[in-house]
Structure 1
């Protein structure tokens, strides 16, 4: 699952064809959801599919479909290769983040974390119960209901605004 996720993410990042990159991004997001399922984070996996695959990816797909052919041609034409002097700061920053990430992972001592020790003492049997999901649901529908609804209205307004901006003007309006 990790190989599928990483390989499709590399195709997205290095691909020159926008349509192929968009559909490989779809595979990447589903692969990430599969990794969440394997990590016993079922709620996060379902949220990944509903929010990112169902919402964000569809929004990107609509933006792609509503874009003019001229704009898509300008984006798809790359003058230089992936590794060029123009991309040097971004590649340097990405390398720096990679070094920091590996440093943090190797110094974290994941075997000494309390929940890992508890899993080892329970013979790696982690009971799956619905208490975490129940708490999330109760908090979303009671304590955080107003921010939840405000965010949903804000996202709806952004979608309506994007649809309005993408429509072609009538000849009378020009």
Structure 2
């Protein structure tokens, strides 16, 4: 589903710039916040690996079934900062970032007194240029450092998407 808050996946950035690499994390975060699966897919290789706190998903079908199914059940705001990019080879790069996320139950964020969960996480990614000219994640790893609020906002949806709590 496209959102009026999304720009096209391909912007007019030179592919050799670190800004072009960083655009992958911005596309991904905005896709989560706007429930835009097509924009999300523009940030991930079809066989990409997505790790969130020891939960590993491989390939877009599994990432959609487990990761997006969980995230899209929530209203979120991802604030991406401290982005650093290391250009490694002509078509490969690494990226790190710090991300703050506010989570609310779907449609409840504007209602007073609602349960919420805020988290601070570190991201590490390996990226490559895909055939469409966009930098995409080959591997995105997220490690939550802290959470504050009501963890059941997320936990309520874990069993529905096949995640087991340790």
TM-score using structure 1 length: 0.26
User: Which structure's CA Rg is the greater one?
Assistant: 1
TM-score using structure 2 length: 0.27
Q: Which has the higher helix share?
A: 1
Relative contact order (C-alpha < 8 Å, sep 6+): which is higher?
A: 2
